[in-house]
A and B are shown apart, each in its own frame.
Chain A
Amino acid sequence: TQLLEQSPQFLSIQEGENLTVYCNSSSVFSSLQWYRQEPGEGPVLLVTVVTGGEVKKLKRLTFQFGDARKDSSLHITAAQPGDTGLYLCAGADMEYGNKLVFGAGTILRVKS
């Protein structure tokens, strides 16, 4: 089974600061997805990256897929309190029925 490791586990920053969250694996994924989850709610899909080296932007969020398709990063510019939440990366485990495997997540808290 392919595993995804996320870092850091917890991040507390001031409004306006920049941050990067990492998602790493020793295995190759055909694609990686990033989700954001708020307390008591289900994860909400933010983006899917498919091609090695791919960069996608969603307003102040920039997602990158590693060249070898083993890792991904999420960069947030000028964080806002509304960005607070749990950020999860996920990949399809091609070795095991394409189940979606999730990282443990990064809890982000943006203070105003």
Chain B
Amino acid sequence: DSGVTQTPKHLITATGQRVTLRCSPRSGDLSVYWYQQSLDQGLQFLIQYYNGEERAKGNILERFSAQQFPDLHSELNLSSLELGDSALYFCASSPTGLGNTEAFFGQGTRLTVV
């Protein structure tokens, strides 16, 4: 158990809908990363938050947004969902989010858009 909790584990929704994925980082970790993993794209970095502030942004679509709350949990919002958004979404946390810091991953949320 990495100590990172993601909910829900599975989500099935229709195209055009909006969903929210939730992540609770390890106790004491200030940095949260979100990744999308699909069969053809591998593990793609979406966005990173550190202590409530956006730290780095990857290839995150405009339809997607995230935030980190004062208690350090984070939410990833996906809207106007398309079939191609079906993937595994992982959250990871690390103590500082600086270089050389290891990331600890949750078990992921499997999103299926039908």
A residues sitting closer than 8 Å to B (CB atoms) are: 30-31, 33, 35, 40-45, 48, 50, 88, 90, 92-94, 96-105
Contact = CB atoms under 8 A, between A and B. Distances in A.
Contacts of B48: 97-99
17 contacts: A30-B100, A31-B100, A33-B103, A35-B105, A40-B107, A41-B107, A41-B108, A42-B92, A42-B105, A50-B100, A92-B100, A98-B56, A98-B98, A99-B58, A100-B45, A100-B103, A105-B43
A43 B101 CA distance: 15
Contact of A96 (B42, B56, B102): B56
B99 A43 contact: no
B11 to A, nearest CB: 14
Nearest to B105: A42
B24 to A, nearest CB: 14
Contacts of B90: 42-43
Interface size class of B (residues with CB under 8 A): 20 to 34
B56 A97 contact: yes
Interface of B: 2, 4, 33, 35, 42-43, 45, 48, 55-58, 90, 92, 97-108, 110
Contacts of A98: 48, 55-56, 97-99, 101
A90 to B, nearest CB: 8
Contacts of A92: 98-101
B104 A45 contact: yes
A43 B91 CA distance: 10
Given A88-B43, A99-B48, A45 B103 contact: yes
B26 to A, nearest CB: 12
Contacts of A90: 103
A24 to B, nearest CB: 16
A48 B100 CA distance: 8
A18 B89 CA distance: 33
A45 B102 contact: yes
A45 B92 CA distance: 11
A41 B104 CA distance: 12
